[in-house]
Structure 1
Amino acid sequence: MELRTLRYFVAVAEERHFGRAAARLHMSQPPLSRAIKQLETDVGAVLLLRSAAGVTLTPAGEALLAEARALLGQADRARARVATAAGAPTLTVGILGDSADPGATRLADTYRRQHPDVEVRVRDTDLTDPTCGLRAGLVDVALTRGPFDETGLTVRELRADPVGAVLRADDPLAGRGRLALADLAGRRWFRFPDGTDPVWQAYWHGGEPREGPVVRAVQECLQAVLWNGTVGLMPLGHRPPGELVVVPLADMAPSPAVVAWKTVTPLVRSFARLATAAYRA
C-alpha cells in the first residue's frame, strides 16, 4: 500500500463521496475510483459500498481507516523532522476540515506572493483535533476555530462567526427564524468521540452531554442529520446541502476563526500577520 493511495482512501472515507473527495484532493474522479479499486484488490476486501447518495464504509473499511490515519500521521512526523534537519524553507499548515473559507484563499495568495521560496505543506485534519496537530508537532501553524484548550499555544482570533442549528429542511423547527438551545432539548445530536478536547466538545455539544452518532468529519456531521434527523451546530457562514438548513441560535456565543501556533518562527510570525489581514478583509 502506498501512502498516496491511503491518503486517497482517507479522503473518500471522510467525505463519504467520491466527487467531494476528488475536489479535496485536486484530482479528477476516475483515477481516484481506480486507485480505491486497486487498494481493495491489494487488501483483498471491499472497503466502500457505493451508491447514488455516496459511499459508506464496510467493517473492513472502518478498520483500514483507523490504521491509515495512524500511518499517515507517522509519515507526516517523519517528513517534518527531515525537513527541519535539512533546514529547508518549509511551513506546515494545519487546516481544520471545515475550512473552505474565502479568508484562507486570500491568505494563500498573499503568502505565496510574499514568500515565493517557501514550500507550504497543508495538513487537513478532522474535527476531533481542533489544534490540527500542533501539540503533536505535526504542523507549524494552524488555521482552525475555537474554543479549545489553549494551554501551551498562542491563539489569535481572526473573526467571530455566529453559529446555528443544522436541521433537515423538513424538520418542524427548520422554518423558525431563530432558535434557542432549549428548543433542541431531548433531540439526538451528532457528537465527537470520547477523548476529544473537552472545551471544544462542550461548545459544539451546546454545553451539555449529548446522545447520538459519533462523527469525525464535516461530511459525517451533515450525513448524520440527513439520514438520522439528528441535530448539531454549524457556523452560519457555511452552506449545507439543499436538504439541510442552518437556523441561528440566539443563546450561543460565536465560534472564533483563529490562527494558532506553539513555537514562533519568522515564517510563522509572517503567516499569522498575513492571516489577520486576510480574514478581516
Structure 2
Amino acid sequence: MELDLRKLRYFVAVAEELHFGRAADKLHIAQPVLSRQIRSLEGDLKVQLFARDKRGTELTAAGEQLLSDARPLLSAADATTRRAVRAAHAQNALTVGFMPGLIVTAAVRLFSRRHPDVQVEVIRTNWDEQTQMICDGRIDVGYVRLPCEAHGLELRDLLSEPRVVILPTTHPLAGKSSVSISDLAGERLLQNPAAIPEWRSTANPSGPYEDTGPTLVLRSVEEKLENVAAGRGVVILPLSTATYYTRSDITHIEISDIGPNRVCLAWDSNRQDQLIDEFVEIALAT
C-alpha cells in the first residue's frame, strides 16, 4: 500500500489541532471533506488514528506513531519538490543558513570566487527552525548552534564560544565579571528552555521552568532583548550574539559553570552534492 501524501497532510493538521473544525479552517477545506479523508486514510492503513468522544479528539497509539513518522516524511517530500523546482530554474545554486551572531561572509566570498557561476544565497535562521529548514530543503547547508535536532543530518564541528546571560543594566548582578547558573535561580527565562538544558537541572532545581513565572517564549533575538531591557526576564546567548547586539540598556555576563555553545555545519545526510562538500571544506578552513 502506498501512502497518499495529501491525506497524510490532512492527518497532521488534525493531529496538531486535535479539532476537525480548526484543522479544516487551517487547510481551507470543508470539515465533512476532511472527515472523509481521515476515514479513508484509516481505511487504507486499517487502523484507528483518532479516538473521538464528547470530550474531544485524541490520538490513538497508532495515531501517535503516524504523527511521529509523518512530519519527517512530509518534510522530505517538500525538500524534494523544492530542489526539483530550483534545479529547473537554476542548475547552480547554494543556500546557506546561519544563526544570529555568526558571520559567514568569508566562506561565502571564497566559495563564490571559486564558483562565479553558482548563485549563493544566505538566510538567517532561528534556534527552533535551524535544522527544519535544512530538512525541508529551504537551506542546503547551515551554521547551527547546539543543542539541535540532528536526526537525518550530517554535522561537522566548527567552533565553540562562551555563553553569557543578558540582563538589564539595573539588575543586581549587573557589573559582575561572571556568574554561576545557580545565581540565576528564580529568574524568568525568556527563551525555549530546551536550548539551555542546564536551566532545568541547575538554575531552578526545585521545580519546572513554568514555576519561575508565566512562560514567555520569544523567537527573535531582538524580541528577547527588548523584553530583557524591560525587566521581564533574562536570556542566555552565545558571546558572539550578545556582542553583535550591543545596546546601552542591557549588559552581558559570562556564566562560569556551563559548557560553551558549540557551532556546527549541518546538511542533509542523504544528499550527495559536490557544492555542499566544497562549501563545507571552505568553511572549516576559514
Is the TM value for this pair above 0.5? yes
**Using a 3 Å threshold, how does the CA distance of structure 1 residues 249 and 182 change in structure 2: closer, same or farther?**
same
| 1:245 matched to 2:251 | yes
How far apart in 2 are the matches of 1:135 and 1:141?
A: 10
Q: Which residue is 1:117 aligned to?
A: 117
How far apart in 2 are the matches of 1:233 and 1:134?
A: 25
Deviant stretches of 4+, over 3 Å: 75-81
**Using a 3 Å threshold, how does the CA distance of structure 1 residues 160 and 247 change in structure 2: closer, same or farther?**
same
User: Is the contact made by 2:82 and 2:138 (CA closer than 8 Å) also made in structure 1?
Assistant: no
Q: 1:23-42 maps to which residues of 2 (within 5 A)?
A: none
Give a deviation string over 1:153-173, Cα, whole Å, max 9, x none: 111111101101111111101
Aligned length: 194
Q: Which residue is 2:163 aligned to?
A: 163
TM norm structure 1: 0.63
Shift of 1:219: 0.6
Shift of 1:126: 2.4
**Using a 3 Å threshold, how does the CA distance of structure 1 residues 81 and 123 change in structure 2: closer, same or farther?**
farther
User: Is the contact made by 1:132 and 1:144 (CA closer than 8 Å) also made in structure 2?
Assistant: no
Residue 210 of structure 1 aligns to which amino acid in structure 2? Y
Q: Which residue is 1:206 aligned to?
A: 198
Residue 142 of structure 2 aligns to which amino acid in structure 1? A
Q: Which residue is 1:219 aligned to?
A: 222
Give a deviation string over 1:58-90, Cα, whole Å, max 9, x none: xxxxxxxxxxxxxxxxx9986543112456111
How far apart in 1 are the matches of 2:175 and 2:255?
A: 13
User: Is the contact made by 1:179 and 1:250 (CA closer than 8 Å) also made in structure 2?
Assistant: yes
How far apart in 2 are the matches of 1:76 and 1:137?
A: 4
| 1:178 matched to 2:181 | no
Shift of 1:236: 1.6
How far apart in 1 are the matches of 2:234 and 2:80?
A: 36
Q: Which moved more, 1:108-117 or 1:77-86?
A: 77-86
User: Is the contact made by 1:205 and 1:233 (CA closer than 8 Å) also made in structure 2?
Assistant: no
How far apart in 2 are the matches of 1:84 and 1:151?
A: 25
How far apart in 2 are the matches of 1:130 and 1:160?
A: 17
How far apart in 2 are the matches of 1:277 and 1:152?
A: 24
| 1:261 matched to 2:267 | yes
How far apart in 1 are the matches of 2:264 and 2:151?
A: 15
Residue 158 of structure 1 aligns to which amino acid in structure 2? L
How far apart in 1 are the matches of 2:198 and 2:190?
A: 11
Q: Which moved more, 1:207-216 or 1:233-242?
A: 207-216
- Report SS of the residue matched to 1:144: strand
Residue 202 of structure 1 aligns to which amino acid in structure 2? A
Residue 276 of structure 2 aligns to which amino acid in structure 1? V
Bigger radius of gyration: 2
Name the % identity: 30
| 1:277 matched to 2:269 | no
How far apart in 1 are the matches of 2:248 and 2:121?
A: 33
Gaps of 5+ in 1: 1-74, 193-200
TM norm structure 2: 0.62
- Report SS of the residue matched to 2:219: coil
Shift of 1:130: 2.9
**Using a 3 Å threshold, how does the CA distance of structure 1 residues 132 and 273 change in structure 2: closer, same or farther?**
farther
How far apart in 2 are the matches of 1:126 and 1:203?
A: 11
Q: Which residue is 1:154 aligned to?
A: 154
